[in-house]
Structure 1
Amino acid sequence: MYNPKVSIIIPFYNCPYVDHAIMSGLNQTYNNKEIILVNDGSDQYVEKLEPYMDQIIYIEKDNGGTASALNAGIKAASGDYISWLSSDDIHYREKTEKQIAFMTSKRIRCTCTNYHIMNHQSKIVRKYAGKSFATRDEFDQYVLKGINPIHGSSVIIQRNVFEQTGLFNEKLKYVQDFELWLKVMELETIVFLKEPLLLYRIHGRMGTRRNQEEIKKEKEMFLKEHLPAIRKRQINK
């Protein structure tokens, strides 16, 4: 049976929940994996890493944002597949095993999953929060509304996809994932799995809560750049 290696990359910047994320990565039922934690210049909660240092690959760098941390992890990865895990989120134990089994059996290079939303106390406050889409056209409809339907922490992507799309855009601090998914969808459909395999944490310290104005500006810039190509596809489909 094909048993590809999966690199689970955790970007970390001053997140009090990072130990929860590490444990969820280590506790995956899928055995052929490595956990790569990229410390993106943190000066808080670094002590939470100490119990796990002999079980993870640890990279330390100056603060450069999520895209730069993910790229550092991808460059250091030895896996055939890349899985992103935000430092405040939790992967269900069977997430990697189920996604890889599906992807390898169907020969799919990129999948994302449904997810539940939890609060700062790890209590689920909303179930099945993901948006499903089956085609590039459906994905484009979300993009045209300025909506990113894919949660980054739910994604597993075959590493060779980056040879065609390039890595995450480090000029974008908040919508770097949105841009990459659009590039991937230019190549093929990202398949959405309806089963929730991720717990997405919403809390007061998260960047999407604290930086709404910057996110809005980045999204406007991003959409201005990509909308013409999307509209052209819509006309020609």
Structure 2
Amino acid sequence: MNISVIIPIKNRAHLIAETLESIWAQSLPAAEVIIVDDGSTDNLRDILQPYADKIIFVSSKGHGPGAARNTGLEIAIGDAIQFFDSDDIMSPNKLEVQAALLGGNIKTGCVIGPFVAAKKEQHKWVQTDVIMQYFPIRNMPFNNIVAQGWCSITQACLFSRSLVDQVGAWREDIMTHEDKEYWSRIAMLVPFPVHENKSLTIYRQHEQQITDKHTKELERTQNGIAVFSEILKRDKKQLSLLSIFVLKGLIANYKKYCKRYQVHYPLTLSDHLSGIISKVYSKYGRVKTGTDWQPIHGVNADKTVFQKYLKLFV
């Protein structure tokens, strides 16, 4: 199986080398690594110069992560696609483990693996949240799980090229929640994705990332309203009643959140009711897992598990 790794990047010159090293340390080498520059203003080209013979470096044809991924897809030759971020790390067995499962489940077209938020302190990885997707998605259609708030980082997954072609291009008109929208289309095609927990993706936490999230909070919220509203309108007939209420509640609560930025959305009685149901459902899920996450996220809060995973990186 030939795997194309596609990495959008913008001003991550100081982190990309470690990401690339984790890709080249794979027990199953990628066929190609495509780095798509989304308008970087740092010294990215200088940092990548030593790797010129190992990567394909191109500039994005548009703006934002969606456009960068689409640019990479236009030139990718692999029959499997690994979307990855320029600041994250994959365990050395990731591509091999997921490719084996993908090859044995051609009709599925999607393998989901675990990931964990962590930061680098004194050359050591420190876990900052629970391990996500350690346990498989529970037995309900994937589109209902996505509608109820599930959203993975695509870095932790591997996709067949045929599925990616069926799903269609990434949205380029939104800079946030584009992954949620993308997953909603995957979920309509893949009722029950394959799961594994032998590999690990480290979702790196760092100061620049945190700053970016805070400065775009209103935009993120409004994009969330738009994306969730589209999912509800498009998929309503295929969703369970609970999923509809939870999704409507997420939209209503996002609209309420916008008030702090002096942006007001009209809310109906149904919106308020759905918002309450969504909050109660969310609170019940957090109590059940003992974390800030829902059961659908497959969380593992045992910190010794992360230490076991770290042995893969040695």
TM-score w.r.t. length of structure 1: 0.88
Tell me how large the CA RMSD over aligned residues is: 2.3
Moved more, 19-28 or 76-85: 19-28
> SS where residue 87 of structure 2 aligns?
coil
Contact 1:41–1:62 (CA under 8 A) maintained in structure 2: no
Aligned match of 2:194: 191
Matched, 1:201 2:188: no
Q: For residue 14 of structure 1, report the CA deviation from its aligned partner.
A: 0.2
Of 17, 20, 23, the match for 2:18: 20
Of 203, 225, 228, the match for 1:223: 228
Counterpart mapping for 1:1-237 below 5 A: 4-15=1-12, 16-46=14-44, 47-61=46-60, 64-107=63-106, 108-121=108-121, 123-125=125-127, 126-130=129-133, 132-135=136-139, 137=141, 140-144=144-148, 147-188=149-190, 189-206=192-209, 207-235=212-240
Cα distance in structure 2, aligned partners of 1:8 and 1:165: 18
Judged with a 3 Å threshold, the aligned counterparts in structure 2 of structure 1 residues 100 and 77 are, in CA distance, closer, same or farther, namely same
Moved more, 24-33 or 128-137: 128-137
Cα distance in structure 2, aligned partners of 1:96 and 1:185: 22
Deviations 1:102-151 (A, max 9, x none): 1112333111211122114462313523374245535524523xx34311
Contact 1:134–1:192 (CA under 8 A) maintained in structure 2: no
Q: Which has the higher helix share?
A: 2
Q: For residue 174 of structure 1, report the CA deviation from its aligned partner.
A: 1.2
Size of the alignment, in residue pairs? 232
Judged with a 3 Å threshold, the aligned counterparts in structure 2 of structure 1 residues 139 and 114 are, in CA distance, closer, same or farther, namely farther
Cα distance in structure 2, aligned partners of 1:52 and 1:40: 19
Q: Which structure has the higher relative contact order (CA within 8 Å, separation 6+)?
A: 1
Cα distance in structure 2, aligned partners of 1:87 and 1:94: 19
Contact 2:69–2:170 (CA under 8 A) maintained in structure 1: yes
Q: Percent identity?
A: 23
Cα distance in structure 2, aligned partners of 1:227 and 1:55: 43
What letter matches 2:20 in structure 1?
A: I
Q: For residue 59 of structure 1, report the CA deviation from its aligned partner.
A: 0.7
Structure 1: which 5+ runs fail to align? none
Contact 2:117–2:205 (CA under 8 A) maintained in structure 1: yes
What letter matches 1:226 in structure 2?
A: I
Q: For residue 88 of structure 1, report the CA deviation from its aligned partner.
A: 0.7
Larger radius of gyration: 2
Judged with a 3 Å threshold, the aligned counterparts in structure 2 of structure 1 residues 36 and 217 are, in CA distance, closer, same or farther, namely same
Deviations 1:170-210 (A, max 9, x none): 11211112111111111113333233420111122114454
Q: For residue 35 of structure 1, report the CA deviation from its aligned partner.
A: 0.7
Cα distance in structure 1, aligned partners of 2:214 and 2:102: 33
Cα distance in structure 2, aligned partners of 1:136 and 1:44: 45
Cα distance in structure 2, aligned partners of 1:14 and 1:70: 16
> SS where residue 123 of structure 1 aligns?
strand
> SS where residue 214 of structure 1 aligns?
helix
Deviations 1:51-108 (A, max 9, x none): 2111111112366110011111111101001101100100111100110011112333
TM-score w.r.t. length of structure 2: 0.68
Cα distance in structure 1, aligned partners of 2:56 and 2:229: 38
Cα distance in structure 2, aligned partners of 1:208 and 1:167: 24
Q: Which has the higher strand share?
A: 1
Aligned match of 2:262: none
